[in-house]
Amino acid sequence: MFRQVILTGNPMDRGIAHGESLRSEIHYTWEFYRSIFNLPESGVLELAGHFGNLIRKFNADCLDEIRGIATGSGLDVLKIIALNSRTEILSHGHAAPTNECTALCLPERRLMGQTWDWAEALEPVGTILTIAGEDGHRITMFTEPGLVGKIGMNNSGVGVCLNILTLGRPQKGLPVHVLLRAILDCRTAAEARMLALAQARGKASNIIVADQTGDGFDLEFAGEEHCLIEGNPGYLLHTNHYLGAAVQAPQDSDFTSSHARFDTVRALLQTQGCRSRAGLCQLLSDRSHPALPVYRDYRPDPMVRSCGTVSTIVMDLENHELFIRQGNAPDAKFQSFNTA
């Protein structure tokens, strides 16, 4: 089971506790990303300086938390900024396609979830962070050590899912993982929508956000463009290819897996529907496609060496429950967390 770490206090205190609790895991995660950035370390740290300035202007408390992580872990603050900007820094060193995650939201059912498909090397250090703010706001999320934001929900019943997309060119906007944390600081999906639209430039990703009232949205970021995706009746679904008509993805990229997973889930929704948390867990566990399933074994990958489903996250926004499963074994079980 993934390790859980609970953080309390002001931003600096939370960061120091994060860094001290996950010191070895943060060092491990930094070494992993340093090995795949495909840039000299000096170039990575120079980019981190740029992203650090953006984070400071966006939210000084967030930068304080990052500084605290650096203090607690003993890593240079630019390396912690680089971890939190890892998606954008990867865009500077790689133009390879990303065939990572399957995300699904059922707004009327107040349910959402996704697989997080990424490097096998990061499964042992995946972490569940619970962040209890001084104002009573509480976040529970699955993340990578050293990152301040990722996939999860808060005690206001707001949840967020993430798909990384590819444009084939460098992105230099506010790091998407910092934006994810800011969304988890929101009290409603409407508040999160306004925030995300205001920070839409300079990234290549997709977010799905919903809340306990049934409000939700799907937003693609495409460099200088963005697009709100209209959902099919009853659901919002995204994998790793662009759905917005105005976006031109790289012509030489292979999104076979992304299209296969999207088509599988859409067909299951149209033929079987999904009305419960158990049904959502079943959809995210589907292996019906013989070669390109939703729930993926680890397979060789040119970028991260071995890629598959590292974790599965399911959120019941109305009942304030979050469920997380580690790895991709057929008999893997979900851990449950009360997020109220």
Res 97 pLDDT > 70:
no
| Signed CA dihedral, 24, 78, 307, 292: sign only | positive
Angle between helices 176-184 and 189-198 (to 10 degrees): 150
Average pLDDT, the chain: 95
What pLDDT is recorded for position 289? 97
Predicted confidence (pLDDT) per residue in 147-157, tens digit = 999 999 999 99
Res 99 pLDDT > 90:
no
> In this structure, are residues 203 and 176 in contact, taking their beta carbons and an 8 Å threshold?
yes
Res 85 pLDDT > 60:
yes
Q: Provide the pLDDT confidence category of residue 246 given band limits of 50, 70 and 90.
A: low
> In this structure, are residues 91 and 170 in contact, taking their beta carbons and an 8 Å threshold?
yes
Provide the 3-class DSSP secondary structure of residue 234. coil
In order of 59, 243, 285, 294, the CA distances from 288 in angstroms are: 44, 23, 9, 8
| Signed CA dihedral, 234, 103, 322, 273: sign only | positive
Predicted confidence (pLDDT) per residue in 21-49, tens digit = 999 999 999 999 999 999 999 999 999 99
Predicted confidence (pLDDT) per residue in 64-83, tens digit = 999 999 999 999 999 999 99
Res 167 pLDDT > 90:
no
Write down the architecture of domain 9-93 according to CATH.
Answer: Orthogonal Bundle (1.10)
What pLDDT is recorded for position 43? 97
Asked if the domains at 9-93 and 102-124+147-327 fall in one CATH topology, the answer is no
Question: Burial of 321 by CB count in 10 Å (0-12 exposed, 13-18 middle, 19+ buried)?
Answer: middle
Res 253 pLDDT > 80:
no
What pLDDT is recorded for position 326? 98
The region, left, alpha or beta by phi > 0 then psi within -120 to 50, assigned to residue 302 is alpha
**How confident is the model over 306-324, as a mean pLDDT?**
97
Res 95 pLDDT > 60:
no
What pLDDT is recorded for position 245? 59
How far is 312 from 101, CA to CA, in rounded Å? 10
What pLDDT is recorded for position 98? 65
**How confident is the model over 112-123, as a mean pLDDT?**
97
In degrees, rounded to 5, the angle at the alpha carbon of residue 184 between the alpha carbons of residues 236 and 75 is 120
**How confident is the model over 289-299, as a mean pLDDT?**
96
Question: Worst-scoring range by mean pLDDT, 116-120, 197-201, 232-236, 248-252?
Answer: 248-252
- Residues above pLDDT 90, as percent of the chain: 89
Give 29-60 as a DSSP string: HHHHHHHHS-S-HHHHHHHHHHHHHHHHHH-H
Q: Which CATH number is 102-124+147-327 given?
A: 3.60.60.10
The ranges assigned to domains in the chain are 9-93, 102-124+147-327
